[in-house]
Amino acid sequence: MRIEEVVGEFVSLRKRGVNLVGLCPFHNEKTPSFHVHPVKGIFKCFGCSEGGNAIDFLIKHEQLSYVEALRWLAKKYHIEIREEELSEEQSAVHELRERLFNLNAFATTWFGTQLTDSEGSAIALTYCRERGITDESIGKFQIGYSPNQPDAFTSHALLQGYDRELLVTGGLSTEREGALYDRFRGRLIFPIHNISGRVVGFGARLLVQDTKRPKYLNSPETEIYLKSRILYGIYQARNAIAQHDNCYLVEGYTDVIGLHQAGIQNVVASSGTSLTTDQIKAIRRYTPNVTIIYDGDLAGIKASFRGIDMILSEGMNVRIVPMPEGEDPDSFARKNRSSDVLQFLNTHSDDFITFKAGLLKAEAEGDPVKMGNLIREIIGSVALIPDPLLRTLFVKKCAAITAMEEEQLNYELNRQLRNLKIKTTGAKPEEVPETVRTAPPQQTEAPKPLVEYQEDDIIRLLVTYGDQPLTHTKEDGEPYITTLAADLTEELTADGITFSNPLWQQIYEDFRNALAHQKPLPSQAWFIHHENAEVRSAVISMISSPYELSSKWEKMRIYVETEKDLLSQAADAAIYSFRLRKVEEMMQEIRNQLVTAEDEEEAIRLLTRFNQLMKSRNRLAGFLGRIISF
């Protein structure tokens, strides 16, 4: 597995020294700060700090699980994966799921063929052209057509060996009086993909006049298609959502396609259902920011207020863009240039309070009762926000919009927070305080202790050069060889030193255990692929650098000593610096104790210890060539 091959499938890379660079896929940038190190097998962006190995890249870029990333790599390099043996019941479910996936893939191909090659396909193509759907979008979203015949697909599927029960279970055929019929006949087909790009179901629009049949029809729920968890277009949009850190949410299939054609790819639709918590959580995998685009229908907008509250409840940020009257995202995108569509979305995007208050205020103007209800409704939405600081800021904004006193709004907020807690926890009213904190106490982050920088340096040396040999000389002049890891761990063990950072302690113990059991020392590559994601991330950040020594120096016969050439001195400096910081910490602790010393005897004891530590500090500073100022 070569990381440059994996990353290269998604990012355009060019050679720079021994490494490769390109534009980071995780944030917008004009100057490349994304580095791939083929020798180390890692990537690191020095703009947004994302980093990891090939598996981490796939997990972050393609939004895959760890197992899915392994399967992706196995497929690319033609490696067979042996998975855990399933129970009989699990095997049956797994087999059914795979059969449904295969059936849907077969149906998608067949529907796609019918769009151009079947009798009546002219109707479907005419509809696509009228809606401005391009051939590129037809291919990208795998749009198809089901002929207006009773069993055209069903008969073909049966001939290809698919059994009747599976066709009915998968929702592609319906059974009536013992005969099978096509569910989607006479409809334009919109395949619905899961996050991995596999088709889980279909949405279909009727293209012929028939008052007895609904205009839109979806697949029924199956083992692989749960409507409440699926978002139309999520597979095509997932990378753009993560890149732009925002997700546009629309209502229909053609709205998604129309915005894609306008160059706005971070857009999904709720797949023919009301917005659900599972769908919101699916978006949150990529971004905490949602922008809802509403058609210019006042009744529809009011009905969707529930969706705004659900998004707020999940701790996400929501903005709203209402379309001009009579327009939907698809029609608006077709009538305007791409740049104008994007500009409209940016300039007409409001936070939920501004939008909600502006929409309802006109109705309540001059009526105190209606105005009171409006304020309660807005504060009800604010109460759903988990972050107390954001609640406070939105209360301030609500006060400015409604010309109400903040104190009154905070009173209403506390009332609703209290009721919400009683409702969600089942607590008794007397158990919940009348006043609920609306903002967290201000806290200042303590600066990082200086000794931790020495800890970082020691672990960096261990990870980078732990297995490097060092030559020493015995008292009798005979040379002997150890490793950097052996020297460092011996010194640290003798001092009884442990690391304050638990990740560093874990790495240190890995080296100690290997030395104690005479096992091969952990290599840098071993840590880069460590099972603990936190260890991987920390190590990769530690060993990554945007700079490297140019090979031109050697060509000019100018040789520069590197840290690797001076490992023994580097190890000594790291240990002495670490000890120096520890001694300085103990001295400061004694200073603090002297302030509260209860008697002269205790003060003399503390001063004696302080003087001993000061001598140690001066000696260590001398080893390091440092001047100590008193």
Q: What is the pLDDT of residues 39-72, one digit of tens each?
A: 888 999 988 888 989 988 888 887 677 877 888 8
Tell me the CA distances in angstroms from 74 to 4, 6, 39, 70, one per residue in order. Answer: 16, 12, 21, 6
Q: List the structure tokens of 214.
A: 């609904």
Domain 449-544+552-630: which topology?
DNAb Helicase; Chain A (1.10.860)
Domain 3-76: which topology?
DNA Primase; Chain A (3.90.580)
Specify whether the CB–CB gap between 142 and 189 falls below 8 A: no
Residue type, 374: L
Per the model's pLDDT, the better-predicted residue between 299 and 378 turns out to be 378
DSSP for residue 506: H
Residue ranges in 84-233 assigned as alpha helix (H) = 88-117, 121-130, 135-140, 152-159, 164-169
Residue type, 270: S
User: 181-238: per-residue pLDDT in tens?
Assistant: 999 999 999 999 998 889 999 999 998 888 788 999 999 999 999 898 899 999 999 8
CA distance 218 to 200: 11
CA distance 123 to 166: 30
Can you give the pLDDT at residue 448?
65
Q: What ranges do the domains of the chain cover?
A: 3-76, 89-225, 234-431, 449-544+552-630
| Residue 611, pLDDT above cutoff 90 | no
Cα of first residue to Cα of last residue in the chain, in angstroms, is: 56
Can you give the pLDDT at residue 473?
79
Closest CA to 253 of 133, 113, 109: 133
Per the model's pLDDT, the better-predicted residue between 470 and 414 turns out to be 414
User: 305-323: per-residue pLDDT in tens?
Assistant: 788 888 998 889 999 998 8
| Residue 241, pLDDT above cutoff 60 | yes
Tell me the CA distances in angstroms from 605 to 143, 393, 600, one per residue in order. Answer: 85, 54, 9
Q: What proportion of the chain, given as a percentage, has pLDDT over 90? A: 27
pTM, to two decimals: 0.66
Cβ burial of 367 (10 Å; 0-12, 13-18, 19+) is: exposed
Q: Between the ranges 180-189, 469-478, 602-611, where is the mean pLDDT highest?
A: 180-189
Can you give the pLDDT at residue 366?
73
Neighbours of 436 (CB within 10 A): 18
Closest CA to 323 of 337, 333, 309: 333
The answer to whether domain 234-431 has CATH 3.40.1360.10 is yes
Can you give the pLDDT at residue 83?
65
Q: What is the mean pLDDT of residues 147-168?
A: 94
Average pLDDT over the chain, rounded to an integer: 84
Beta bridge partners of 22: 34
User: 512-524: per-residue pLDDT in tens?
Assistant: 898 888 888 888 8
Q: What proportion of the chain, given as a percentage, has pLDDT over 70? A: 90
Can you give the pLDDT at residue 132?
92
CA distance 301 to 497: 63
Q: What is the mean pLDDT of residues 297-306?
A: 68
Can you give the pLDDT at residue 124?
92
User: 329-360: per-residue pLDDT in tens?
Assistant: 999 999 999 999 999 999 999 888 888 877 77
Per the model's pLDDT, the better-predicted residue between 552 and 248 turns out to be 248
Can you give the pLDDT at residue 272?
62
The answer to whether domain 89-225 has CATH 3.40.640.10 is no
CA distance 23 to 14: 10
| Residue 437, pLDDT above cutoff 80 | no
Closest CA to 460 of 553, 294, 578: 578
Can you give the pLDDT at residue 462?
86
Can you give the pLDDT at residue 172?
96
∠ CA(270), CA(235), CA(97), 5° rounding? Answer: 90
| Residue 444, pLDDT above cutoff 60 | no
Neighbours of 246 (CB within 10 A): 21
